[in-house]
C-alpha cells in the first residue's frame, strides 16, 4: 500500500476522542482542500510502499485494540484496504476509517468517520484542481450507502457559522440524522481553533450536534506523527 506514516497516539477528534489508537495514514487523495492539514498525502503526496502483512505486523506491535486508518483517502486503495481491515478485524481490533466519503467499498470496519468537504474547502478558482475538487467533493450516494451499512459519524470542518446552511441542505438531501453530525473548527493552531469554538458550540446546542475538539492541533499545532 502507499502510505505516509504509522504511529501510536490518541484519537484527537470525534466520538472516540481520547482513545489510545494506532494511526495508519495512507497516501494520495482525490480531493485538494485548500486548508488540507496533511498536504504530504494530497497536494504533494509521499508514496512509500508497505505490504498489508507488514502493516498488520507493525500495528500489532503496539498491543492496542483501536486502529484508525486515515489519509489522504484510504478508499483509493480499496482492494488492499479490504484485506487490511479483514486481517485487523480477525485480530480483534476496533477499526475506524476516516474518509472524505467520495468512494465506497465493503470493508470490515466498526466506525466510518466521514468528513464531507464543504465549499470552504475549495481551492482558488484559478487553481488547476478547482473544478475537480468542486465536482467530486460531495457524493450523496456514497454517504447514503455508508449510513445504511455502518455505524457512522459525519465530521464537518466549519470556517464560519455561515457553513451551517450548507450542512443542513446536505442533511435534508441525504437524510443525515443530527446525532451523527460532528462539528469542528477549521484551524491549524490552538489560537485559530479557540477563536471559532464558541460560535460552533452555540450551533451544536441549538441543533443537537456533537462538538469535537481537535486535540492534536491544541497540543502540537501542525506537527506530524503525533
Ligand atoms: S480530503 Fe482530507 S486529505 Fe484530501 S485534501 Fe481534503 S483534507 Fe486533505
- Whole-number Å distance, alpha carbon 14 to ligand 1 midpoint, is 17
Q: Is the CB of 100 under 6 A from ligand 1?
A: yes
Write the residue with the smallest CA distance to atom 8 of ligand 1: 36
pLDDT at 222: 75
pLDDT at 225: 76
Q: How many domains would you assign to the chain? A: 1
CATH of the domain at 96: 3.20.20.70
Overall pTM surpassing 0.85 (yes/no): yes
pLDDT at 218: 81
Please say whether the beta carbons of 18 and 32 come within 8 A. Answer: no
Return the SS3 of 51.
coil
Q: How many angstroms separate the CA atoms of 47 and 70, rounded?
A: 15
CA angle 61, 97, 91 (to 5 degrees): 40
- Considering Cα of 25, then 178, then 173, then 110, what sign does the dihedral take? positive
Spell out the residues 6+ positions from residue 6 whose beta carbon is closer than 8 angstroms to its own.
22, 23, 24, 25, 50, 55, 58, 59
Please say whether the beta carbons of 152 and 111 come within 8 A. Answer: yes
pLDDT at 185: 93
Cell numbers linked to 85: 481491515
49 within domain boundaries: yes
Q: How many Cβ atoms from other residues are within 10 Å of residue 145's Cβ? A: 16
Closest atom of ligand 1 to 71 CA is: 3
Cell numbers linked to 19: 482513545
Mean pLDDT by 10 residues, the chain (226 residues): 97 96 98 95 95 98 98 98 98 98 98 97 97 97 98 95 96 96 91 92 97 87 77
162 within domain boundaries: no
pLDDT at 221: 77
Domain of residue 46, residue span? 2-155
Q: How many angstroms separate the CA atoms of 66 and 200, rounded?
A: 28
Q: Is the CB of 31 under 6 A from ligand 1?
A: yes
186 within domain boundaries: no
How many Cα atoms are found within 13 Å in the side-chain-facing hemisphere of 152?
24
Q: Is the CB of 74 under 6 A from ligand 1?
A: no
213 within domain boundaries: no
pLDDT at 47: 84
Q: Is the CB of 133 under 6 A from ligand 1?
A: no
Please state whether the peptide bond connecting residue 19 to the residue before it is cis, i.e. omega within 30 degrees of 0: no
161 within domain boundaries: no
139 within domain boundaries: yes
177 within domain boundaries: no
218 within domain boundaries: no
- Whole-number Å distance, alpha carbon 42 to ligand 1 midpoint, is 6
Amino acid at each position: 500500500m502507499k502510505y505516509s506514516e504509522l504511529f501510536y497516539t490518541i484519537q484527537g477528534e470525534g466520538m472516540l476522542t481520547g482513545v489510545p489508537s494506532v494511526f495508519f495514514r495512507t497516501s494520495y487523495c482525490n480531493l485538494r482542500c485548500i486548508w488540507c492539514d496533511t498536504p504530504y498525502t494530497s497536494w504533494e503526496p509521499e508514496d512509500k510502499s508497505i505490504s498489508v502483512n507488514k502493516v498488520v505486523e507493525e500495528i500489532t506491535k503496539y498491543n492496542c485494540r483501536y486502529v484508525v486508518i486515515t489519509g489522504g483517502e484510504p478508499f483509493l486503495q480499496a482492494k488492499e484496504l479490504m484485506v487490511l481491515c479483514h486481517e485487523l478485524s480477525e485480530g480483534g481490533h476496533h477499526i475506524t476509517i476516516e474518509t472524505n466519503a467520495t468512494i465506497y467499498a465493503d470493508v470490515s470496519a466498526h466506525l466510518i468517520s466521514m468528513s464531507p468537504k464543504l465549499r470552504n474547502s475549495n481551492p482558488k478558482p484559478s487553481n488547476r484542481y478547482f473544478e475537480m475538487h468542486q465536482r467530486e467533493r460531495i457524493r450523496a450516494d456514497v454517504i447514503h450507502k455508508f449510513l445504511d451499512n455502518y455505524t457512522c459519524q459525519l465530521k464537518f470542518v466549519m470556517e464560519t457559522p455561515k457553513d451551517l446552511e450548507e450542512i443542513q441542505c446536505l442533511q435534508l438531501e441525504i437524510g443525515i440524522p443530527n446525532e451523527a453530525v460532528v462539528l469542528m473548527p477549521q484551524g491549524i493552531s490552538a489560537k485559530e481553533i479557540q477563536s471559532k469554538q464558541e460560535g460552533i458550540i452555540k450551533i451544536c446546542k441549538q441543533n443537537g450536534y456533537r462538538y469535537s475538539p481537535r486535540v492534536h492541533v491544541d497540543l502540537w499545532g501542525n506537527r506530524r506523527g503525533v
